[in-house]
Structure 1
Amino acid sequence: MRNLINHRPTQPSSNHFKNAAGLDTPLTNSFAVQNLTGVDSFATSFRGGNGNHPIFNILLNFLIELLKQLLEQINQQQPQEYRSADGSGNNLQNPDWGKQNTSLSRLAPKDSSREPGGSTEVNLPSAREVSNAVAAQTESTANRKGLSDIFWMWGQFLDHDMSLVHANTGVGMGIPVPAGDPYFDPQGTGTATIPVTRSNSVVDANGIAQQTNSITAYLDGSNVYGSDQATADALRSFAGGKLKTSEGNLLPKDANGAFIAGDERSNENPALTSMHTIWMREHNRIADELAANHPTWSDEKLYQEARRTVVAEIQAITYNEFLPNLLGEDALATYQGYDPIQNAAINNEFAAAAFRFGHTMLSPTLLRLDENGNELAEGNVALRDAFGKPSLVTESGIEPFLRGGMSQTAQAFDPMVIDDVRNFLFGQPGAGGLDLVAINLQRGRDHGLAGYNDVRESLGLSRIESFDDPIWQGDFGQKLAQVYDSPDEVDLWVGGLAEKYTGDSLAGETLTTILTQQFEALRDGDRFWYENQFSGQQLQDLNKLTLAEVIQRNTTIQNVQDHAFLASNLHLQAQTTGQAATAAAEPMMATARGAAPATTAVEPVTTPDPEQIRLLQDALAKGLLG
């Protein structure tokens, strides 16, 4: 791919010019623009008539460089406008739109009767009962597009750029556990509950409590840079425009050894930490190139220009690679440019239901692979044992997790969720274990999300009248009927996942509609959208950029597949090779050991770390997980 920093488009747009870095800059100083863009043509014409005179060429080159530096300094006196750290000022008429600590919006009116204790909620099945009936997964599955674990890893990384609703109100809404639940009430007491705390909210102008988004709504790299100025400053080295690092070119660490990034959830699992790390590295890589090309640029200028490019790359990969795999090609309407009346705020149906689809695609094992696709000597990591353990990244680096993520196929897109997060989230039941499915359903009720059918109606879709309707995939209509009296009662998260896929989307029509509307709003309502910031060859290069390229240039992985979101099955190829070699050597090995009987390896039992469990449950209570 052509270098996004050094290449200068030959045909700048009418309202932008290319500065000496090849970066788009608004026309803020006509003198600087006219002279800077004419320097090269002036030099070329002179060289054409005097190219055989070496002293002249030396003097000319010196004067040209001096002129460029002077013009660059003039240009910096009228600096380009950059995004604020907290998202404010993006929309000039409504500067608080998309800002940190503003309320989530809604696609359907809030249904307070579905909140805990509400008139509808008291007659709904327990969220754990729904989880047991509909979401229990007894065997491994595979998504129909062959997407890799990197797909859900990117989804989680992306989610942490858009929304975070803290839940530190101290108001509990424990989920009742059915008597005799084999995991959470094996003694049949009928009194067990799964602890959950209600989300933070503020009362709007209509007297309705609305949940608050603690980070910026925009796709602005806030997971890399933070959603407030204090966090942004704490992550900077203030030298060469670069971000802080720790030993091994990893993310910086706090006093307890946890990694620090723009989003406070970066230690949730080592795959997520690895994704954060490559974008810290990508920022520093770009800053280094800019500094080499522009030695007069200040730290601030280098930081902001590197940040601007990183945000553009994240947006481009999301819309040109991730979303086509999720929703299908051309699912979004064609971009028509910035729309100042479009609010890019995250809606509650998206945050508390639709974009939690990734939980169904989680694999029970995070593979740690070497360059040949073989499992590391330290072994792979069961997902249930991976939460809140930054030491796993310190131990083996990010490359093994990224190789494993690109190799393994993610689970199917349906309501079923693996036991690692449905029964063993953060530990054994009774010793820290929680149920992410039940928490998702309870969180939707906490936020007053309208029921499945009411949301469909608000989206302009038809209501579903029966659990025998052909909209349901497989036998999920019958499973829903075991716990809900009618489709009107169904919670949005589980109802959306139970639908058959539509078109080339992974999702059914309800979730596809919610996801499409949200991502169009995020694009159209962003004044700093990358297609408004870059043009010419730079824009073409951004539109061709893949996540695989970013991984390639920021890790030691030698052979990165072309499409990181499509599973390569490298580990299966390595297993096949290893099995063939073992089979060839088996007769000789049997003779040497006297044909000893085969033994079956027993998976070691992991003893939960009480402190880890406490920290993770505290994080869950704050809304930092799930």
Structure 2
Amino acid sequence: DVRFNKILGLEPGGFSHLHHLRSLLLNDNHLKALQSGVFRGLRRLKYLHVNEIHHIEPEVFSHMPRLERLYLHNNRLKNIPSGSFAGMPRLRKLRLDSNALICDCSLLWMVRMLAAHDEMSVAATCYEPESVTGTSLAAMTEKDFKCRESILPDNGGDHPEFETEPEDVTVNFGEDAMFTCVATGEPAPEIVWLRDSAEIPVETTRYEILNNGTLMVHDADETDIGVFESQVAKLDQRLMRFDCVANGKPKPHISWFFNGERILLSDRMSIHHNGSIVIEYVEETDAGSYTFKPSFDTYPKNLTVPIGENAEFLCSARGVPKPVLSWYRDTLPLLPGDNVEISDDHRRLTILDVSDDDDAIYHCRAENTEGYVEKSGILKIVPPRIVLKPEDTDAYKETTVQMPCEVEAEPPAAIEWRKDGARITVENRFRITIIGSLIINNVSITDTGRYECTVFNDYGRDTASVFLTVKDRKLPGDAYVNIALTQATRDIDQAISRTVDSIFNNKSTKVDLNDLYRITRFPNAPAREVARAAEIYERTLDKIKDYTNAGMTITSVEPFNYQHILSNQHLEVIAQLSGCVAHRESLDCSDMCFHSRYRTIDGSCNNFAHPTWGSSLSGFRRILFPIYENGFSQPVGWNKDRKYNGYKLPASRLVSNTVITTTDISEDVKITHMAMQWGQWLDHDLDHALPSVSSETWDGVDCKKTCAYAAPCFPIEVPENDTRITNRRCIDFIRTSAVCGSGVTSVLFGAMQPREQINQLTSFIDASQVYGFEKAVAEDLRDLTNDNGLLRVGATFPGRKPLLPTTGLNGMDCRRNLDESTRSCFVAGDIRANEQIGLVAFHTIWMREHNRVALKLKSINPFWDGDKVYQEARKVLGAEIQFITYTQWLPIILGPEGKQLLGEYKEYNPNINPSVSNVFATAALRFGHSMINPILHRYDENFETIPEGHLQLRYAFFSPWRLVDEGGVDPLIRGMFTTPAKLKTPTQNLNSELTEKLFYSTHAVALDLAAINIQRSRDHGIPPYNKFRQFCNMSEVKNFDDLAGEISEKSVRDKLKELYGSVDNIDVWVGGILEDQVEGGKVGPLFRCLLLEQFARLRDGDRFWYENPSVFEAEQLRQIKETSLARILCDNGDNIDTIGENVFLLPEVQDGMVSCDDLPSIDFRYWADCENCEEETVRAKRRARRDLADAEQEQDLARLATLENTQQDLSLTVQMLKKRIEYLEENCKMDTADTFKFQ
């Protein structure tokens, strides 16, 4: 599929190596012709689509015995060469419609072919001659063609016809121009060429008429510009043709005159659709003057020219008789002189050294005996103009001043500011905005003076000046700092305390599922400190604003700015006391012994130049500038009456009910439910927006008990007549926390920055959901009772492997009620581990995988300490997840074209920021919600349903006890790799278990996942769908019908129009999830674009990417590439022995299921280390061996490969035995008589 490209031509034989190609789509390119041999070798090709074609050569489609469908519609074909479709026995569908086919005798062969192949479906409509215009070629017979009939009783013969007519030609100066004209007839006709209605003199050396009638114009220059016409005649009888081409909207009507009288059409005289008149069987009485009014070939264009430059207008016209050209300025005739030149037979007007006086309308008039026509061009000389000038301004010390200087200019003008005559450089406190305003931060008394704004471009300049007076005074807000900070700290800490108490100290025996949901997402202590600092800072500023406004006696009409009421020193005090500057401290990446080998737990120091890129507890990355209602912090929709593009935004719940939720479920025919589960697993490795530290307003109102918008509460409005929710006006929703230095708190750092949310996790694919994102969590998960580098494990039941560890006595309680289970929650690297039972199974599998790898490494290297074993095993697990994601999962999601766009890994690029983008976390990666089935299937070792049955999704949330009491991890894993995922269709997006019954049990209002996704994108200030279409270079859409290319279902587009009113209002997650999936993929084009943008950064911007040569040795990397998710499930399940080789694909679309013993696995002998050798020496020796091997000849490598592998395996085995014996000798007390040494 190479559609929608800019292919200009195809070389013969270009596809000859693609012997198995079945379908070739070439439409929407710029192909003009197809040469014979272009499709040579495509013997298995079934389908071929092309367009933009003017000409095809004979036999271009020959030798394609399997071609069944050939689409040549919407081209510019007029003639089809005889025999073009020969040698195509299986051709069944041929489209030639929407071509200007000339159905004359040259197409008689095709009518005969169609009559002999009645099984062929053909779409072709005649355009000429007029007698058959609109007739289907398939309906015509030989009788409809009058070919080779005698037209002269005396002489006989055929009247002359054009077989190939000349076409417009554009050439460079000095090149040859060729006009092709081929005519047929009996006897052979004569071809005569004319230029601008006058016969070309053949005696000139620059014009040459070839034997076949082709006209060559040698060394073309501007004097050759014009209209060339060909006339054809028999030797004894002439056929005359005069061309007349006119353009316009609507298309103009053309009339011809003979000796001053309008010509009446007859059998001998006809006017073609292009305006040309043809006279057949010329008689003496036809001699005379044939005329038509002038028409323009080239006419003046509007010009904008700098003062002092030259302006040039061109004009050329045709007509019979040849028209005379003249020029006018406005209404007066224009003659050469002064700065006016008229040349090239009046076809060129040049205005020299233009000035303001030359700003006028210039007319070109073409006139002959039949009348005249005029065309005009406007010459504009427009200097730049300042439309918003600054005025004299007073300001106070340490505030910020903005002086406007808005300019209108075309082309854009440069802007320069000066103070007291000295040019101002943009640095430190001085900044010039994109519209030209000068901003001075932290003004001082020395900034008093005269400021001048100058704008200039090639057309001129303009200036404006202003006097700035800086005064010294105390700002009103400074007096309220202490009391406001004290009250803000008290409010925030009390709200946090109440929230923690209600979540973790709830003594009720029946826990609300909403509380469980909050528990799994509530920030731990370090994360709370980051969010708490920003909240205290913002709350303090709000209180100072309230105090200041209460004490003011006047009302300001200007936008509120905290720097107008607070000095920079007091802003700094608030920041220090709130803790808002603590997280911006520089990181220490100096321990190169560690940082060069291993990742930090929190992701810092991956990039030495930018150590916080991708680290935990840092802000998300923005692809597009966020959209907040007040410009920097309030989500869109905060003011319910505000209109966007003329319409109010629909409630998130209303959008979910109308276009997202479905009760109809279709099964995917290709992928398994495992593909969905891997998406959630991967998401929990990459991002977790830090929730608010409080579930109450700062005034103490529980967000569950209010429908008002009061930070941090942002409830989801329930529409009237909601089919489920009738007893509440809203669904509670809490905003995520902001990072210090964004939103309101950005005033501390010198410029107002939009609110940015915090990613708790590292952005890298580093198995942080296994190990945690901070040191305290990682240490808590480790088994430090031994030196084996293991992770802690929980209970082990008969016939099963260890489970995850559980929370202690003081940990959170996951019980729904005592009747269900008394078991505790599990503990893993991600706080959301218990959220869904399938996720618990995955956490268990990968905890076991770490311990399996660690034990393997320890057995090979018994002298390694626990830290090294832990770090090396952690490095292997991260590589396994990276490899599985990019080679096994992403190709299924992105499709073949997406995989090609992602490309292969080349090298680490330290200039790429790998941090997760806000839209990726909030919208794009949430595509997986459309793949979730309403039932989790569970199978035993015989692939029969377990006694407890399958599990409805509503019962899968916060029920980790089911992993213990209902069969362990195996039944869930088997269900994932044998059960189809939910198929996303235009009208089946999220199943109703997610929108109507999410956490429904014991919860007053069940949540709605789709509405949460929409509300979250508004909370985060994510720009709408159409903005990201522009970022992804998708087609421009102005109305809802323009979306048909991506959202094909008209009923869905109609619902979107009813909801949003404007295409510019569609939420990005809604637009992305409703798009049709790309071919071979599971996302639409927008989400594919956003996923590609992020996954390329995660790979290329990660110094520890598994393919980076500095991470693994070559032998180790080859072993990493042997892994698969199927192998890991086999190794770590309780008793999984049969599995699909690719667990993301249904068994029936691959070679069924295979034994686990047949799957390749990692050979950890390549991690064998030397206890007493310097590591660099070992590496040097290995590099030397590789260099030596690379120098060998290819035939030597092939001959020695088997022997070398055998020797290497034996050497590794012997080395391992040596180490084990040495280890035993050092640690065991043996009698001398019993001591033995390895010989």
The TM-score, its normalising length taken from structure 1, stands at 0.75
Q: How far, CA to CA, are the matches of 1:476 and 1:133 in structure 2?
A: 9
User: Structure 2: which amino acid aligns with 1:228?
Assistant: E
Are 2:873 and 1:300 equivalent residues in the alignment?
no
1:112 to 609, 622, 628: 628
Instruction: Give the counterpart of 1:392 among 941, 958, 962.
Output: 962
Q: What is the aligned partner in structure 2 of residue 326 from structure 1?
A: 893
**Corresponding position: 1:136 with 2:661:** yes
Change (3 A) 1:426 1:339: same
* Partners of 1:107 and 1:459 within 8 A in 2: no
Find the counterpart in structure 2 of residue 287 from structure 1.
854
Match of 1:442 in 2: 1015
Deviations 1:333-372 (A, max 9, x none): 3211100000000001100001001111110111111012
Distance in 2 between residues matched to 1:429 and 1:448, nearest whole Å: 33
Query: Residues 905 and 1107 of structure 2 are in contact (CA less than 8 Å); yes or no, is this contact kept in structure 1?
Result: no
Q: For 2:720 and 2:1148, locate their aligned partners in 1 and report how far apart those are by CA, in whole Å.
A: 42
Say which one has the larger Rg.
Answer: 2
**What does the per-residue CA deviation read over 1:201-249, in whole Å, with 9 as the maximum and x for residues that have no partner?**
1233542110110111111110000000000000000221100111121
Please state how far the C-alpha of 1:101 moved relative to its aligned partner: 0.7
Give the conservation status (yes or no) of the 8 Å contact 2:996–2:1006: yes
- AA aligned to 1:303 is Y
Q: Tell me, yes or no, if the aligned pair for 1:115 and 1:447 is still in contact at 8 Å.
A: no
Q: Does 1:192 align with 2:729?
A: yes
Q: CA RMSD in A?
A: 2.2
State the Cα deviation string for residues 562-610 of structure 1 (Å, max 9, x = none): 111113379xx9xxxxxxxxxxxxxxxxxxxxxxxxxxxxxxxxxxxxx
> C-alpha distance in 1, partners of 2:593/2:656?
60
Q: Is the 8 A contact 2:935 2:952 kept in 1?
A: yes
Give CA-to-partner distance per residue, 1:490-526, whole Å, 9 cap, x none.
1111101111222433211111000001000001110
Query: Which of the residues 1101, 1105, 1112 maps onto 1:534?
Result: 1112
Partner Cα separation in structure 2 for residue 536 and residue 183 of structure 1: 59
Matches within 5 A, 1:104-253: 104-113=620-629, 115-118=636-639, 119-120=642-643, 123-143=648-668, 146-168=670-692, 169-170=694-695, 171-185=712-726, 192-202=729-739, 203-204=741-742, 206-238=752-784, 239=786, 240-248=788-796, 249-253=802-806
Q: 1:82 aligns with which of 580, 583, 598?
A: 598
Correspondence for 2:950: 380
Once the two structures are TM-superposed, the CA of residue 412 in structure 1 deviates from its matched residue by: 2.0
Select which of 1072, 1084, 1093 maps to 1:496.
Answer: 1072
Cα drift, residue 262 of structure 1? 0.6
Q: Whole-Å Cα distance in 1 between the matches of residues 846 and 681 of structure 2? A: 11
> Compared with structure 1, are the counterparts of its residues 297 and 452 closer, same or farther at alpha carbon in structure 2 (3 Å cutoff)?
same
Asked if residue 312 in structure 1 is aligned to residue 879 in structure 2, the reply is yes
Quote the residue 1:41 is aligned against.
none
- Structure 2 letter corresponding to 1:364: P
Q: CA deviation at 1:544?
A: 3.8
Contact 1:167 1:197 in 2 (8 A): yes
Distance 1:448 1:438, change over 3 A: same
Matching residue of 1:511: 1087
The question of 1:470 aligning with 2:1045 is answered yes
Distance in 2 between residues matched to 1:562 and 1:526, nearest whole Å: 29
CA contact (8 A) 2:999 2:1007 kept: yes
2:1056 counterpart of 1:480: yes
CA distance in 2, matches of 1:511, 1:143: 19
The answer as to whether partners of 1:116 and 1:173 remain within 8 angstroms in 2 is no
Q: Which amino acid aligns with 2:930?
A: T
Bigger mean CA deviation after superposition, 538-547 or 91-100 = 538-547
Q: Report how far residue 141 of structure 1 moved.
A: 1.5
In 2, are the aligned partners of 1:135 and 1:417 still within 8 Å (CA)? yes
User: How far apart are the structure 1 equivalents of 2:829 and 2:1112?
Assistant: 24
Q: Is residue 595–residue 605 contact of structure 2 (8 Å, CA) maintained in 1?
A: no
- 2:148 is matched with none
More strand, by proportion? 2
Whole-Å separation in 2 of the counterparts to 1:419 and 1:267: 22
Which segment drifts farther, 548-557 or 133-142? 133-142
Residue by residue, what CA displacement relative to the aligned partner does 1:415-448 show, whole Å, maximum 9, x if unpaired?
Answer: 6211111101001596341100000000000001
Task: Confirm or deny: 8 A CA contact 2:627 2:1022 kept in the other structure.
Answer: yes
Helix, strand or coil: the match of 1:201?
coil
Question: In the TM superposition, what whole-angstrom CA distance separates every residue of 1:35-54 from its partner, at most 9, and x where no partner exists?
Answer: xxxxxxxxxxxxxxxxxxxx
Alignment partner of 1:417 out of 976, 979, 990:
990
**CA distance in 1 between partners of 2:977 and 2:1079 (Å):** 25
C-alpha change, 1:120 and 1:514, in structure 2 (3 Å) is farther
- Which residue matches 1:272? 839
Q: Give the Å deviation of 1:298.
A: 0.3
Query: In the alignment, which of 941, 964, 979 is matched to residue 408 of structure 1?
Result: 979
Q: For residue 80 of structure 1, report the CA deviation from its aligned partner.
A: 6.1
1:103 to 606, 619, 625: 619
Number of positions where the alignment pairs a residue of Structure 1 with one of Structure 2 = 492
Structure 1 residue 129, shift from structure 2 partner? 0.5
Query: Residues of 2 paired with 1:504 and 1:183: CA distance?
Result: 37
Q: Aligned equivalents of 1:448 and 1:426: distance in 2?
A: 27
Q: Deviations over 1:474-497 (max 9, x none)?
A: 342233223121221111111011
User: Is the Cα–Cα contact under 8 Å of residues 769 and 828 in structure 2 kept in the other structure?
Assistant: yes
Structure 1 equivalent of residue 1142 of structure 2? 563
Structure 2 unaligned runs (5+)?
A: 1-591, 630-634, 696-711, 743-748, 797-801, 814-823, 1153-1239
Deviations 1:96-141 (A, max 9, x none): 1111111001111101135241545781111111001101212112
- Decide whether the 8 Å contact of 2:725 with 2:1005 is kept in 1: no
Higher helix share: 1
* Greater relative contact order (Cα < 8 A, sep 6+): 1
Q: Which residue of 2 aligns with 1:607?
A: none
Q: CA deviation at 1:147?
A: 1.1
Range moving further from structure 2, 356-365 or 79-88: 79-88
* Residue equivalent to 1:624: none
